[in-house]
Every structure is written in structure tokens, then in C-alpha cells.
């Protein structure tokens, strides 16, 4: 589950970068004359990058949180097993 969530975060980041470049080229202002090149819309690119970056960071942070919860759960399970063995041994 955690690995899948990490992959989702990385995919979101990659798609945001690619999507920002595509949006910047697509939504750029039209040239005034036909011989001019179409301009690049930096604001659209930065907007995509910022939104994708924030989404990816939150997804990766949630994955890290779940990873820590799993580690804590594993530790507690180990402590419970050890305590149970000690209790059964003394009884």
C-alpha cells in the first residue's frame, strides 16, 4: 500500500511537469503576425508545477506517515509477543 502511494506521488509529480510544459506551449498567446513564433505561457506552466508539486508532496507525506504507522505497529506487536512470552513463562 505504501509503495503504491509513493508511486502515485512520483507519477503525479511527473505528470505535473509534463502537463505544465504542454499547457505553457498550448495556451500561450497567439502571435500578432503569422511569421512570429507562438509565445510560451510561463504562468500556466508555473501554475501546473506548483499544483502538481503540492499534490505530490502531500501524497508522499501521507505515504511516509503510513510507513511510520506500520513500523510502530510492528514494534508494538513485537513488544506484545515478548511480554506474552514473559508472562506465560512466569505463570
**pLDDT tens-place values along the chain, 91 residues long:** 889 999 999 999 999 999 999 999 888 877 777 777 778 889 999 999 999 999 999 999 999 999 999 999 999 999 999 988 888 876 5
User: CA 51 from chain center: how many Å?
Assistant: 11
Residue 74, φ and ψ in degrees, nearest 5? -65, -40
CA distances from 51 to 16, 47, 60 (A): 8, 6, 14
What is the model's pTM? 0.77
Report d(CA 81, CA 74) in Å as an integer: 11
Amino acid at each position: 500500500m505504501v509503495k503504491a502511494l509513493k508511486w502515485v506521488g512520483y507519477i503525479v509529480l511527473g505528470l505535473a511537469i509534463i502537463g505544465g510544459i504542454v499547457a505553457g506551449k498550448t495556451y500561450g498567446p497567439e502571435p500578432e503576425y503569422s511569421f512570429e513564433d507562438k509565445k510560451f505561457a510561463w504562468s500556466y506552466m508555473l501554475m501546473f508545477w506548483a499544483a502538481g508539486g503540492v499534490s505530490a508532496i502531500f501524497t508522499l507525506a501521507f505515504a511516509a506517515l503510513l510507513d511510520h504507522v506500520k513500523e510502530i505497529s510492528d514494534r508494538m506487536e513485537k513488544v506484545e509477543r515478548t511480554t506474552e512470552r514473559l508472562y506465560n513463562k512466569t505463570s
